Amino acid sequence: MSPRQMKLGLFLWATGHHIAAWRHPKAHVTAGIDIDHYIQLARTAEAAKFDMIFCEDAAGLREANVNIASQTSRSIGFEPISLLSALAAQTERIGLVSTASTSYNEPYGLARTFASLDNLSGGRAGWNLVTSASPIEAANFGATGLRPHADRYARAREFATVIAGLWNRRAAGHDGESFSVRDPLDIPPSPQGAPVMVQAGASDDGKDLAARTADVVFSAAQTFEDAKAFYDDLKGRLAAYGRQPDDVKIMPGVAPVVAATEAEARAKHDELQELIPDDVGVALLSSYLSISDLGRYPIDGPLPELPESEGMKSRQALVVEQARRDGLSIRGLARYFAGARGHWRLVGTPTQIADELQARFEGGAADGFNVMPSWFPGELDAFATLVVPELQRRGLFRKDYEGRTLRAHLGLKRPF
C-alpha cells in the first residue's frame, strides 16, 4: 500500500485572497471579467497536480457599505457554476468544486446543475454546501430577512438528503418540510457516480451535517491544537452515521507567502499589508464578526465584547479568540485578519512551509490543505514551483494523477 499523501485544493478568488491583492502592482486587476485569467490559473494548478480548484460564492455583494466596497475588488466576479463549466472544457484532470447555497436554491435544480458539470468534466465536479449567513444575500431572495441559524440548518439537512437521493439514484419522490420532488433526476451519472459533497460549517449543526453527508470538509484553524481538535471532533462523529474515518477528508485553509528566503517572504507579505486601507480592514473584520458598527470603537483599542450573532457563529469565536490571545487592537486584528480571513497564514521558505504542512498532516490535524494564495497569479506560481516540488520530494504529494475523477484523486468510494 502506498504511503498516505496529502490532498491539495486551490481556493480561487479573482485577484487573490488578500483584501488588497488587486492593488498589487503585478496582480491581474481585471480578473473578475477575464475568463482567460481563470483558465491560466486552472492550468497552473492542474500542472502542479492539485486535487481540485474551489470557488467560494455569495449571491450578493460582500460588503454593504458602498464606499468600503468600492475600495475592494469583491463586488463583481464570475458566477462560479458557469465559471467552472467553462474551465471543465479547458482542463482534463483537476477537480472542480463550487459553493452553492441551500437557502436560495431548490435541490432538483442544483442536482441537475452539478450533475451536468460532472458530465461536462468527465466526473470531476464537487458541491460545497453552504446555508448562507449574509443578510445582503437574503435581501436578494425575499423580504423576510435572514432566517435563524437552526432553521437554515434544518432546510440544509433536508436539501442534502434530497440531493443525495437524486444523485445516488435512490427511489424518487420526496415530500418534506421545505421541498417536494416527484421525479428521478433526468441527467445520467458521470464516471464518478455523483459529485463530491463538500462542507465548511464549523458550528455544532455544521459538523453534524458534515459527518452525515460530506466527503470533504474545509476548515479554518490557526494553531495545530485547534486544527487537531476540529479534526478529531469531526472524525469522531462519523461512526454515529455508519461511516469510517477515511470516508471524509479534512482540508484546512492555508494562506502561504513563500520565497527563497524568509526575509524575502516577510517583505512580500508586508508589501501587501501596507496596501490595506484602515476602513477596509475594519469593515471586513466587522462583516466576519457579523456586526455592523465596529468602526465606532477606537481603532487602536481592544475588540469590544460582542453578542452572539445569527450569522457565522464558529467564525466569530475564532476571530475573537485570536484577538484576546495576541492582545491585538482593532487595527492590528483587522490587518492580520484581512491577510487570510481567519485562515492559517504561513510566511517563509519552501522548506519552512513544507515542514509546517507536514507536521499538521502527519500529526493527525489534516488530510490535506485548501491553498489560498494571497494574490494571483504570483503566489500561486510561487507555491506551485517552490512548495509543491518540495512536498513531492518528501513523498507527501503525488507526482502525477492516479485517476481521472475527483473521487479517484481524493481516494473516495463511489457512492453507489
Q: What residues line the site for other proteins (CB under 8 A)?
A: 22-25, 27, 29-30, 32-33, 35, 39, 58-62, 66-67, 69-73, 75-79, 81-83, 85-86, 88-90, 104-106, 108-109, 112-113, 115-117, 119-120, 136, 139-143, 175, 178-183, 186-188, 275, 277
End-to-end CA separation in angstroms for the chain: 24
Nearer Cβ to other proteins, position 35 or 291? 35
Q: How far is the CB of 343 from other proteins (least distance, A)?
A: 22
Q: How far is the CB of 187 from other proteins (least distance, A)?
A: 6
288 and 317 Cβ atoms separated by less than 8 Å: no
Nearer Cβ to other proteins, position 30 or 351? 30
Single-letter amino acid, residue 214:
A
Q: How far is the CB of 149 from other proteins (least distance, A)?
A: 22
Q: How far is the CB of 249 from other proteins (least distance, A)?
A: 25
Nearer Cβ to other proteins, position 115 or 257? 115
Nearer Cβ to other proteins, position 83 or 211? 83
Q: How far is the CB of 322 from other proteins (least distance, A)?
A: 26
Q: Are strands 174-175 and 180-181 parallel, antiparallel or unpaired?
A: antiparallel
Cell of 215: 466527503
Nearer Cβ to other proteins, position 106 or 355? 106
Nearer Cβ to other proteins, position 66 or 171? 66
Q: How far is the CB of 78 from other proteins (least distance, A)?
A: 5
Q: Are strands 180-181 and 196-199 parallel, antiparallel or unpaired?
A: unpaired
